[in-house]
Amino acid sequence: MLNFTLNELCAILGTTEYVGYTDVRLTNLNRIEHSSTGDITFFSNNKYLKYLKTTYASCVLIEKNNNTQPKDNQVFIKVDNPYVSFVQLIFLANEPEQNTFEIHPSTVIEQGAFVSAKASIGANCYIGKNVSIDEGVIIKSNCSIQQNVKIGKNTLIHSNVVIYKDCEIGDNCIIHSGVVIGADGFGYIENSDGSYSKIPQIGNVVIGNNVEIGANTTVDRSLIGSTYIRDGVKLDNLIQIAHNVEVGENSAMAAQVGVSGSAKIGKRNRLGGQVGIAGHLEIADDVIIMAQSGVAKSVTEKGIYFGSPIKDRITAFKIEAVIPQLPQIYKDINLIKKKLDIK
């Protein structure tokens, strides 16, 4: 809960520039279109100009070169970057409560498991044999951590997460509810009669440090060896990472991305929502693939790509611009053929 005077807020933001009403008490952060008395919001995009004129927020963070005047009982604080300053306040509002390290009595801990005295485990969790849980780890309720799993320092695992056997998770990770790590990869042999025989998946998943995995995302174990999620990777909700995939450091993927088996994603990749990547492909470092694109061959050069199959962004946009004209082009071609008596 926030509770600031104008002067206190300015001190936090490192500014003395403001205009408007000064006797305000600021207690909440909110979006500009939904703000009310006591709220702090920000304005940094002209698409929201109409809300700047109508918002009931008591305080709006604006750019220093913005000369818009506030309404009565409202103050505008001028900062270099309103969005960055607002995020600074979000961090302040989100300071975690001091954790008391304890293990809920309903938790089941199997023989040979190590749980640091400075770890916390919530109600109805299962900790399998030979699991290692390092200091600072917080595991919320109803999680299942199977045998031989290793969890590094200060990792947070939210409720209803399942981590299959032999998987490894690094330090300072955040794993959201519904995540499944280490389920079997999609591996089968097709028999002569059209039926399938399952291939045992005997590898694991290795997740690096400072990784965040969104709700209901799945990362499959490898056939052999490991599926790798490298340091700093950020995965949104509802993503599927298949067996033997490697995701390079500091790559990020938006919701509903699907990465097929044995694909290798480079460092610092950015994949938009619903991007699909076929199996056994390699994507270079520093690649951006825009939403709903389909990747059917390896990408060897950094750049921005779009389409299905993907093309460099400029070429793809030119193609998209022509597509609506195709019906008229078709009519024109037929008319020309008719006049030239071409069948």
Q: How far is CA 11 from CA 14, 80, 220, in A?
A: 5, 14, 48
User: Which residues 6+ apart lie within 8 Å of 62 measured at CB?
Assistant: 42, 43, 44, 52, 68, 76, 77, 78, 79, 82
Give the CA angle between residues 336, 339, 341 to the nearest 5°. Answer: 105
Amino acid at site 164:
Y
For CA atoms 113, 117, 118, 120, the dihedral sign is positive
Give how far the C-alpha of residue 63 lies from the chain's centroid of Cα atoms, to the nearest Å: 28
Q: Is 243 an active-site residue?
A: yes
**Exposed/middle/buried for 301, CB within 10 Å: 0-12, 13-18, 19+?**
exposed
- Burial profile 319-330: b = 16 or more Cβ within 10 angstroms, e = fewer: eeeeeeeeeeee
228/274 Cα distance (integer angstroms): 21
Q: What residue type is 199 in one-letter code?
A: I
Tokens of 16: 């003395």
Pairing mode, strands 75-79 and 18-20:
antiparallel
Q: Which of 104, 176, 243, 280 is catalytic?
A: 243
Nearest Cα neighbor of 90 from 40, 51, 38 is 40
Which amino acid is it at 325?
Q
Find the helix or strand (DSSP H, E) in which 91 lies.
Answer: helix 82-93
DSSP string across 34-82: T--TTEEEE---GGGHHHHHH---SEEEEETT--PPP-TT-EEEEES-H
Catalytic residue set: 243
